[in-house]
């Protein structure tokens, strides 16, 4: 089957990046200031500073919400993209600039959804450091612009979503019934150094290390016990966490029993069970049958859905590979369409 052949399902890709050109200009200012984190210099310094055709192609595509993007979707058989503000989103900007960037991204994505309602849906950005305004912006984006979730590009200047300052924002997402998409960014502060000096800080491994940590912090902090209606979607097949679930459960139980860490307290469920009750996985950047089948086997076929990771990992052949996954047709319909439709309320 070629990617453009019509399968008996709509292909929805749920982790597809967008950036307003004006936000990229703000990133250039941060880079020029000489005060940016090494992680931001590694990530956006490359994409905005390199003359290589790979990063240039990404930047050319990432600001488009019209013909260019839709032509790429048509060429690869993607019926709908769920758009979100690219990593690191608002989360490297100062408080006021972050609020401005979130509103701009949400307005633009809202306009694209209104212009192409069968091709685009979108997630809301917020400036996380000002929780009251973040709550208002999330409410506006969901109730007025029709956006379908909240994008969190992992840590906020070294703070994670289990920090109490972010609780009201997550509570708002839960109250609105929309999921939080936990998306990677580079490791914070000096933590990135061992990854960076080896060239392993980006999507190759560092993102998964960072975002897997973030997902586990959300679980072990008891966040899902305090917010039982919170839904989290995480890409890259769970950032390595599914492969470690047995060991995580085993060691967590030991740590609870021994009282070794103040931060580790009893939970209502084993850590692994939250991946079956509150968390959904996507295949962004991981179009690899053995890993997809393993993830489905441990969290359930009803919790793993398709994402491409456009334009960072824009590989036409992967759609045909995903069409050829060895699952029954009804499960493939769920993988490409059904799960995303329910989780994001499309
Ligand atoms: Ca991505």
Task: Using the mean position of ligand 1's atoms as its centre, give its distance from the Cα of residue 243 in Å.
Answer: 20
pLDDT of residue 1: 45
Average pLDDT score, the chain: 96
Distances from the Cα of 96 to the Cα of 103, 134, 257, angstroms: 11, 11, 44
Residue 171 has pLDDT above 60, yes or no: yes
pLDDT of residue 98: 98
Distance (Å, rounded) from C-alpha 75 to C-alpha 147? 25
Give the model confidence (pLDDT) of 48-82 as tens digits: 999 999 999 999 999 999 999 999 999 999 999 99
Helix (H) or strand (E) holding 279: strand 279-282
Task: Using the mean position of ligand 1's atoms as its centre, give its distance from the Cα of residue 328 in Å.
Answer: 28
Determine how many CB atoms are found less than 10 A away from the CB of residue 307: 26
Q: What are 98's two structure tokens?
A: 């972050």
Catalytic residues: 309
Give the model confidence (pLDDT) of 28-45 as tens digits: 999 999 999 999 999 999
Task: Using the mean position of ligand 1's atoms as its centre, give its distance from the Cα of residue 122 in Å.
Answer: 14
Task: Using the mean position of ligand 1's atoms as its centre, give its distance from the Cα of residue 261 in Å.
Answer: 33
Residue 6 has pLDDT above 90, yes or no: no
- Picking from 266, 302, 311, 260, the residue whose alpha carbon sits closest to that of residue 284 is 311
CB hemisphere CA count around 201 (13 angstroms): 24
pTM of the predicted structure, to 2 decimals: 0.97
Helix (H) or strand (E) holding 58: helix 53-62
Q: For the chain, which residues make up each domain, given as ranges?
A: 12-343
Task: Using the mean position of ligand 1's atoms as its centre, give its distance from the Cα of residue 145 in Å.
Answer: 22
**Ion ligand 1: protein residues whose beta carbon lies under 5 Å:** 309
Give the model confidence (pLDDT) of 300-341 as tens digits: 999 999 999 999 999 888 999 999 999 999 999 999 999 999
Give the model confidence (pLDDT) of 230-288 as tens digits: 999 999 999 999 999 999 999 999 999 999 999 999 999 999 999 999 999 999 999 99
Task: Using the mean position of ligand 1's atoms as its centre, give its distance from the Cα of residue 220 in Å.
Answer: 25
Distance (Å, rounded) from C-alpha 107 to C-alpha 44? 23
For the chain, what percent of residues have pLDDT higher than 70?
99
- Eight-class DSSP state of 14: E
Give the model confidence (pLDDT) of 191-205 as tens digits: 999 999 999 999 999
Q: Tell me, rounded to whole angstroms, the distance of Cα 192 from its chain centroid.
A: 20
Q: Are the C-beta atoms of 208 and 240 separated by less than 8 Å? A: yes
As assigned by CATH, the class of the 12-343 domain is alpha beta
- Picking from 307, 316, 310, the residue whose alpha carbon sits closest to that of residue 284 is 307
């Amino acid at each position: 089957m070629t990617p453009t052949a019509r399968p008996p399902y709509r292909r929805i890709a749920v982790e597809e990046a967008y950036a307003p050109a004006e936000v990229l200009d703000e990133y250039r200012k941060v880079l020029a200031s000489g005060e940016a984190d090494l992680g931001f210099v590694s990530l956006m310094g490359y994409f905005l500073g390199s003359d290589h055709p790979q990063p240039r192609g990404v930047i050319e595509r990432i600001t488009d919400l019209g013909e260019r993007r839709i032509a790429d979707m048509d060429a690869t058989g993607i019926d709908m993209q769920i758009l979100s503000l690219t990593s690191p989103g608002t989360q490297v900007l100062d408080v006021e600039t972050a609020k401005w960037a979130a509103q701009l991204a949400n307005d633009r994505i809202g306009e694209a959804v209104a212009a192409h309602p069968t091709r685009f849906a979108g997630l809301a950005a917020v400036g996380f450091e000002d929780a009251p305004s973040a709550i208002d912006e999330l409410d506006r984006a969901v109730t007025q612009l029709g956006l379908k979730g909240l994008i969190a590009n992992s840590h906020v200047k070294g703070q994670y979503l289990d920090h109490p300052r972010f609780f009201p924002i997550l509570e708002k997402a839960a109250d609105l019934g929309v999921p939080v998409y936990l998306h990677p960014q580079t490791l914070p502060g000096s933590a990135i150094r061992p990854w960076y000096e080896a060239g392993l800080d980006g999507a190759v491994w560092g993102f998964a290390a960072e975002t897997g940590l973030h997902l586990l912090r959300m679980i072990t902090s008891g966040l899902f016990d305090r917010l039982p209606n919170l839904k989290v979607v995480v890409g890259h097949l769970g950032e390595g966490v599914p492969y470690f679930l047995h060991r995580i459960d085993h060691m967590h139980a030991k740590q609870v029993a021994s009282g070794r860490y103040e931060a580790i307290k009893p939970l209502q469920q084993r850590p692994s069970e939250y991946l079956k009750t509150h968390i959904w996985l996507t295949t962004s950047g991981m179009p690899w049958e053995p890993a997809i089948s393993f993830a489905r086997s441990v969290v359930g076929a009803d919790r793993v859905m398709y994402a491409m990771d456009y334009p960072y990992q824009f590989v036409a052949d992967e759609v045909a590979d995903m069409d050829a996954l060895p699952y029954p047709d009804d499960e493939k319909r769920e993988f490409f369409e059904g799960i995303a439709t329910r989780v994001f309320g499309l």
